[in-house]
Amino acid sequence: MDGMMEQDEAERRESVRMIRESAAGLVPRHGDFARVRALRYADPGYDTAIWQAMGEQGWIGLRVPEAHGGIGLGMAEACALAEELGQALAPEPLVAGALSARLLAAAGDDSLLPALLQGRSLVLTAWQEAPDSLEAPGTPGAPRLFLPQAAGAETLLVPVAEGGALALYAVPAAGQALHLQRTQDGGNLGTLVPDLAGARRLHGDVGAALAVALEEAALVTAASLLGLMERAFAMTLDYLRTRQQFGKPLGSFQALQHRAADLRIQIALSRASVEGAARGLDAGAAPDRASAAVSRAKARAAEAAMLITREAVQMHGAIGYTDEHDIGLFLRKAMVLANAYGSAALHRNRFLEKADPLAA
């Protein structure tokens, strides 16, 4: 039994390593940010060629079962991928696209899912009706909020409460009342007032599938924040080693060393929380325990990312506050991701509700 467990763990580590390598080949973590800057404040806000390449790599369907055209990997791999993309500040809406892929697979769809998995289209799920929420009431006719990179969506999935269940409808984005707003990082968010006249009903009840998909989206977003804070911290350390003041590197000053040590601890705690939650979901943890672990990871990652990116800007001095310096891109992205799929406050409250006080 121990030998089998060790083999499973070795295979899991190898799978995670391969995912990281594939990500590094497409969006290098140590590359520059010319691509990211070129896509800011322009529609659709991401690179459609990179989106298609992500589909070809299998990333959009990473959590979709093989029977539905995905590759059926676990949350450990999904979080490793998100961490790498967070390092590169990739603007492509992979989390939202993967959520839609999970729903389409659960609905048994064979019309929209293949093109989404191949990155030839973007399908977004209009589930959110209130700010700072992780619930999908499906209120008929209610505006749906915060659709990421909605300027590029071709199809919108709309969950609607019907007879005690949550039905799923598909509508073409063209012709829908979709209002776009710019985000701090230069992307866009859409608000949809759904018109289901002529919509196609895909399934009568996707409530359970959507709940699982939202849990996974929250955890993957935490992993994105982990990658983001790691890169911002590494860039700051490099700056402190090279920038001179009073004839000495800034990094030689004890006050800055203490601040850097505190930030390193926050990164380590965030990593432990994200990886622990991923292991729990992959091992089939009980729903409340899994939700508590996800909330702990998202709350910690959101708060740590905001702290670290703000400190990074401050440690860069005046140049850190200019838009021309790349360190500010990390703070802007953190401001967007910190509240996606639930803020730190929401997840702290949910952790208190779900956590077992007697659990080890």
Range of the domain at 322: 208-354
- Residue 360's pLDDT is 42
Q: Is residue 241 part of a domain?
A: yes
Q: What does each C-alpha distance from 358 to 261, 272, 286, 351, 355 come to in angstroms?
A: 32, 20, 15, 14, 9
Domain membership of residue 289 (yes or no) is: yes
Residue 141 Ramachandran class (φ > 0 left, ψ -120 to 50 alpha, else beta): left
Residue 81 lies in a domain: no
Is 277 part of any domain? Answer: yes
**Is residue 287 within a helix (H) or strand (E), and if so which, with residue range?**
helix 287-315
Taking 70 as the pLDDT cut, the residues of the chain under it are 1-8, 243-256, 357-360
The overall average pLDDT reported for the chain is: 92
- Which residue matches tokens 């850097």? 260
CATH of the domain at 336: 1.20.140.10
- What pLDDT score does 22 carry? 82
Cis geometry, peptide bond prior to residue 249 (ω within 30 degrees of 0): no
Query: Is residue 98 domain-resident?
Result: no
Q: What is the pLDDT of residues 226-260, one digit of tens each?
A: 999 999 999 998 888 776 565 666 555 556 677 88
**Whole-angstrom distance, CA of residue 215 vs CA of residue 291:** 7
pTM of the full structure:
0.93
Q: Are 340 and 99 in contact (CB under 8 A)?
A: no
Is residue 229 situated within a structural domain?
Answer: yes
Per-residue DSSP letters for 88-147?
TT--S-HHHHHHHHHHHHHTT-SSSHHHHHTTSS-EEE----SSS-------TT--EEEE
Residue 340 lies in a domain: yes
Number of domains in the chain: 1
Quick: pLDDT tens for 188-236.
Answer: 999 999 999 989 999 999 999 999 999 999 999 999 999 999 999 999 9
Coil, helix or strand at residue 336: helix
For 57, which DSSP code?
Answer: T
Residue 87 lies in a domain: no
